[in-house]
Structure 1
Amino acid sequence: MRHRITRGLTGLILVVTLAGTIVYCTNKDFSSSGMIFSSSVAGAREANIATNSVLAQIKARGELVALTRYNTSSYFIYKGQPMGYEYEMLKLLANYLDVDLKIVATDDWSGMFDALENGQGDIIAANLIVSESRATKLAFTDSYRITRQVLVQRKPDGWRKMTTHGLNASLIRDPVALIGRTVSVRQSSAYYTSLVELSRELGGNINIDPIPEDVETEELIKLVAEGKIDFTVADEDVARLNQAYFSNLDVETVLSLPQSIAWAVRKDAPHLLSEVNKWLNSLQSTYDPTFNVIYKKYYKNNQAFARHMTSAYSSKNGDKISEYDDLFRINASRIGWDWRLIAAQAFEESHFDIHTESRMGAVGMMQLLPTTGKDFGANNLRNPAENIRAGASYLKWLDEYWSKEILDPNERLKFVLASYNAGQGHIQDARRLATKYGYSSDLWDGNVALFLLKKSKKKYYNDPIVRFGYCRGIEPFNYVKGVLNRYEHYKKMLT
């Protein structure tokens, strides 16, 4: 490392590294101890790296951006709830880092790698096999699962009546038999690389059919079961899970040695890599059963997998959030809102349970007090149509109320949701506090939201400008965040 050295009037030497790090030391330090000089520069440089690291950026913005794919093992929505093995693990990681989680499900596999490289995401969590070729571009975390690659093939017609010997004789059990056969996989997948290597080792030609990058392995497995392609390759646990649904599939032929599954970060993110590994090791080495519970939930529960594969309320194969979607659409159209936003709010309020009642007496899916329900035309709040209609009308009223003061519609939405949860009086108090302390009264994040949180403290709720007293601000704060986060999930998967 080279440095520019300038002698100051005070007897200090100013050292400016080419990386821009500034270090001060005395003449004595500089002349008599090269070690002191070197360690000072190295320490300052390390501090500079840490300050500007990917991990530091994640902490500063309060959000971990995770890249993944839509499938029944990574990320999907079922009955309005985001789910998936990778999704639940990522939530645990985000909690550990004390940040929010943002999921970005890319359109195709190659695009996911590009998005990481371009800084559009912090981490890839998508059932990635660790491979030598991938390791040249990505920094892999410690492995959190071990799997093998298996051949997915279709059993012959009448297989139920065949003996085990006869069935095995009709199927490929020796990889040599793949010579001259066509196997369909994505070119960016580790399966493609393995097949190329296997073909070379066998000294024969396996015909590898490169499938478009937006096709999931689960979709290829289904195509094999339906007879539309002959063979594909999958991770053993994923293949066995699908075999429980497609009984005419065979997944017994192993094509690889055990392989590691891991997450990946950029090569320039060593601090993030270290922190993720620290968390993973802690999760796997404690007596906490969470890690195994999540794995079994998605890879060992055949009945749940079948529900997710067939349900109209699963984003994997369906197009519905709930049985009340038509009511959400009708009322959203009436008030000029996105139906998925009202659905997200309804889930946040009640998990779509029309019979629920809060300890404060709020009733039904949209959690309306009886007096509020009557004000907006509902006589029976346990009737889904009346409840949703009244809730939507209340949202419209709040939107009109705030439109006079919050002109930006995106900002206004946050004020509307917060008011729905806590009442507009508390929100107006928070605005007055924001103005008093030099913050914006028209912006939510970091401004009005900040002082809504402070309204649980005596100094603030006893302030003379506060008219509505104490408010447990964390509840509306989390409510706004929860509704909007869920809305983003719904927008990505449903039209």
Structure 2
Amino acid sequence: MLLGIAGLFVALFTGLMLQLKLQRTAQQRRLEAELRLPDTLRVVTLSGATTFFTYKDEPMGYQYELVRLFAQEQGLPMELFVAHHMDEAVALVRSGKADLCITPHAVTRSSKDELRFAGPEELSGLVLVQRRRAAGTDSTHYIRNVSELLGRPVTVLRGTRAADRIRHLEAQLGGPIKLALIDSDTTNSEDLIDQVATHKIDYTIIDQELARLAKTYYPNIDVSLEVGFKQRLRWFTSPERRGLAEALDRWAAQLPRQEQASEIYRRYFELNKSELPEEEPHQLPKTLTDNKRYRWRGELAHIHEGGISPFDHIFQSEAKRIGWPWQLLASIAYQESNFKPSIVGWSGARGLMGIMPRTGRIYGASPEQLLDPQVSVRVAVDCLLATERIFKSIPAGDNRLRITLAAYNAGPAHLEDVLRLSAKYRKGGHDWDEDIEPLLHLKSEAKYYNDPVCRAGYLRGKGVARYVDQVMSRYQLYKSKGTKIPEEGKRHGLD
């Protein structure tokens, strides 16, 4: 009897020890899984001006390039998912379908309960956008502190943090600010920045990170005055991804000393990408100055008797393949490089015609070869021919030409998005002035670039529209200076 009880006790003890061992093994496996880096880093982001976008079919974005740098240093392959809104991104991370979200999220007490914040940290508030003091004869009052906003006209988007902040400022300052509220269906923050830069409005208030980016496009604006409290913003993963979070934190601590990270920041937030010349127009025929936003600069310095640039013979030879006037290729070249064949732009576009390295490889040219003017123009014409074929359903003429130029600048995928938006909202119209250009502008607004018919995401469409306007206006300038337009150009309606 005693032996039976003892045996039962031994069996129970052995079973208990086995169960505890199994529990410890399972806990150990869970801990190891939490501490282990993923085999492939699955990243989710929202499309946007500073997060992720495509330009000339190249993936770009400040946050995207930072996480790509992290993945490379860790030796991790990376997959990217683009969410339509932050709730979707959070759900993907919490469900384990994505490992990391790189669209910075506000670090709050409630968000820390469900997310593990990691990686780079930003402090971003609201800033006033105004024209800088040295911008010429502008008589607009320069605001040095928030109290000077009293009685001043400030234009912001309805329903935004900026609109709420102005109401709080009025209560704090004890007086009215002339608040103009704009519906976001017709205008976005980038439009308001452009309106300040072009003297259409005097002041607006936007997020600090977008303001820093905007400053590289509009050197005549000032974004130094902070008007709102700063938020802590960080990437996030799930609490179960301890190893990934700790690796991100260690990596982020070293970022200020990393040359590659500093170069990424410089390209997005410091390098000049200006689209608005500051000089006054030269004396040109009235038809070329009426209703034009462009102010003529160095292109006049290049023009000589019967010619435009040192590369005219290349333009003339290659233009025959596409049936365009060679002066139009010359206008593209000036837009892309100011006729500087060795230039490399902030985006990585290279050479006389601003070709991206990936595009060059598609057409058989290395990055070094793209700095050869002959190769650059040849690849540009190859690219333009292929792009024009994509839009062959649009009748030949001015509309197709402008769409092709826009696609050359932004990448065909964005113009295909615009045509799908046109089919959805404008009965399929492809008139440049009535349909395409307005929709290009809307492609920088989340409502439209997140529309299910859009596949290429965010686009700074205002810049693309301005690119086309400037290329075509400069073409008219070159024509006005007496350079001969060939018969091919006349057949395209460019006489």
Please report the TM-score for the alignment, with normalisation by the length of structure 2. Answer: 0.46
Please report the TM-score for the alignment, with normalisation by the length of structure 1. Answer: 0.46
Q: Which has the higher contact order (CA 8 A, sep 6+)?
A: 2
